Amino acid sequence: MKAARSLAAIVAGYAAMVVLLTVVQEGLFDGVSFYDSSPTELAGAGILSAPALDPQTHILISVVSDVRAAQISERIGKRVPVAVAMPNTAIAIRESMTCIASNPDGGAAVAMAQSLFGKVGKTLVVDEEQMVAATALGACGVAFFLRAVRAASQGGIEIGFHSEDALAIAAQTARGAASLLLSAENHPEPAIDRVTTPRGCTIAGLNRMEHEGFSSAMIKGIVTSAEKAAKLYTEA
């Protein structure tokens, strides 16, 4: 990533453009200027007080975590269209789930964010109050699902597979299961029902997992992450 420059220096000389406040790898998007920033830097005086920002020609999209569109708008002091986006690390392979929200004037920014991030995965427009939840489920969620895959691979080792084979089977099975849901746009339970048979090994395994708290642990983990994220948004 290029060295950070002042926002004023980036904007100067451009009649119309998108400025992406970002910690996402540069080069994913063509024709977008980047300003590398942190929540602390955004809170600092003057970071967003660029007189060259023109509400008629500029759009501002932030991927800086824990900072709301309203906070950015207040710092700018102009009715520049602002959107905030929460991608996840799967953006590196163009498989991100990116949630997008905006300020009241952010319609154009939302449309641009959908266009940009739609090229590197799926997008969903949410209310800004839901960005905390998006952080927990969509961004932190990558780690949760990776941990589930790791646990499945460890189970595979215990029942006789070598570690690399167990991981390959677990990862591809997880990918297939997710693809089934995305292709059918259906609830997981009908797909689960197609795998379970009376007195079969699948239902026995599922029931044992539930007795051991599988679903409860996942839910509690997501809720705990959301509670932590809410505090970070408050402090930003």
Chain segment 28-73, per-residue pLDDT in tens:
455 455 554 555 555 443 445 555 567 777 778 888 777 788 888 8
pLDDT of residue 68: 83
Spell out the alpha helix ranges (H) of the chain: 7-11, 39-43, 69-76, 107-117, 131-134, 141-158, 163-184, 188-193, 201-211, 214-235
- Beta carbons within 10 angstroms of residue 183's beta carbon: 8
Tell me the average pLDDT across 75-97.
86
Global pTM reads 0.80
pLDDT of residue 79: 81
Q: CA–CA distance from 151 to each of 81, 157, 181, 217 (Å)? A: 44, 10, 21, 13
**pLDDT digits 0-9 by tens, 130-155:** 999 999 999 999 999 999 999 999 99
Pairing of strands 121-125, 96-102: parallel
Query: Greater confidence, 197 or 27?
Result: 197
Residues in the chain, overall count: 236
pLDDT of residue 11: 36
Pairing of strands 17-22, 58-62: parallel
**pLDDT digits 0-9 by tens, 171-220:** 999 999 999 999 987 889 999 999 999 999 999 999 999 999 999 999 99
Local structure of 108: helix, strand or coil: helix
Walk me through the domains of the chain, giving residue ranges and CATH numbers.
7-126 (3.40.50.720), 141-235 (1.10.3730.10)
Given a cut of 50, is residue 101 above it in pLDDT?
A: yes
Local structure of 105: helix, strand or coil: coil
Query: Would you give the DSSP letter of residue 87?
Result: -
pLDDT of residue 56: 76
Given a cut of 90, is residue 127 above it in pLDDT?
A: yes
